[in-house]
Amino acid sequence: MDKDGKRKKQASKSDGSRPADTEGGDAAEEPRLVALDGDALAAVDGLLRGRRTVHEFRPELPPRALVDEALDLSRWAPNHKHTTPWRWYRPGRRTIEKICGLNARTVRQTKGEEAARKKLERWLKLPGWLLLTAPVNEDDPLRHQEDYAACCCAAQNFMLALWARGIGSKWSTGPVTRHPELYQLLGIDPMAEHVVGIFWYGFPAQLMEGRREPLEKSVIDRP
Ligand SMILES: Cc1cc2nc3c(=O)[nH]c(=O)nc-3n(C[C@H](O)[C@H](O)[C@H](O)COP(=O)(O)O)c2cc1C
């Protein structure tokens, strides 16, 4: 423990050992800061750089155990004051079909019958579905924002953990994610939670090129 009573982290080179499991904060050992090197470091860098949003999926559903591992890893995202703000909704086939139908109806209103038919066909073929919500906190805008931020961190953990297992995903915030009927379909109280996104997942059928602006655009030095 340091002088503030916080646990001190120990640095070590990666030696293949796993960091202590700090499940629920009841770690049997002191947490260790593991500095990766060599292939392990290159793998992590490659994961961060190589994850892509997947727009075209193969039809088969990835093994549930792998998705559960990714969900489990998602909860290690930072969350201020340990609010555990994320809620993952896992719709079954009946609910998925209702969401697809709702989306097709909204598309029909703006883009017409043919666009709606195509969208319905496309959405019904999407393999894995999850929806993520964050808490609504109208009385405390800072908490609202920080909980949303933590949910976004959890989303990234989830997508990276999937990618490391060969599973791609897409975070969608299309209009249907804000539709009151979506909340009804999932039994979500819009006064208590807001939808962060739909997360489709599955094995990629096609991958897009990654594209980023140079780092200089985003880093601003000050004296
Ligand atoms: C908050 C958020 C919402 C997004 N919503 C959509 C969406 O509605 N439709 C879509 O095609 N992609 C969506 N994306 C994915 C981005 O378009 C994608 O991350 C971006 O094009 C960069 O591609 P990459 O993820 O492959 O690096 C969303 C991403 C974030 C972070």
Domain residue spans of the chain: 1-41, 51-208
Q: What is the mean pLDDT of residues 106-114?
A: 96
The reported pLDDT for the residue numbered 28 is: 57
The reported pLDDT for the residue numbered 138 is: 97
Inter-helix orientation angle 141-164/38-50, to 10°: 120
Rounded Cα distance, 58 and 167, in Å:
10
* Ligand 1 pocket check for 52: Cβ under 6 Å: yes
* Ligand 1 pocket check for 49: Cβ under 6 Å: no
DSSP secondary structure letters along 121-178 = HHHHT--EEEEEEEE--TT-HHHHHHHHHHHHHHHHHHHHHHHHTT-EEEEE--GGGG
pTM over 0.85: yes
Q: Note the pLDDT tens digit of each residue in 71-103.
A: 999 999 999 999 999 999 999 999 999 999 999
151 vs 31 pLDDT, higher one: 151
Q: Which of 52, 53, 132 to mutate to test the pocket of ligand 1 (most atoms within 8 A of CB)?
A: 53
CATH of domain 51-208: 3.40.109.10
27 vs 131 pLDDT, higher one: 131
List Cα–Cα distances, 9 to 2, 64, 89, in angstroms: 10, 34, 35
The overall average pLDDT reported for the chain is: 91
Q: Which residue has the tokens 């646990």?
A: 7
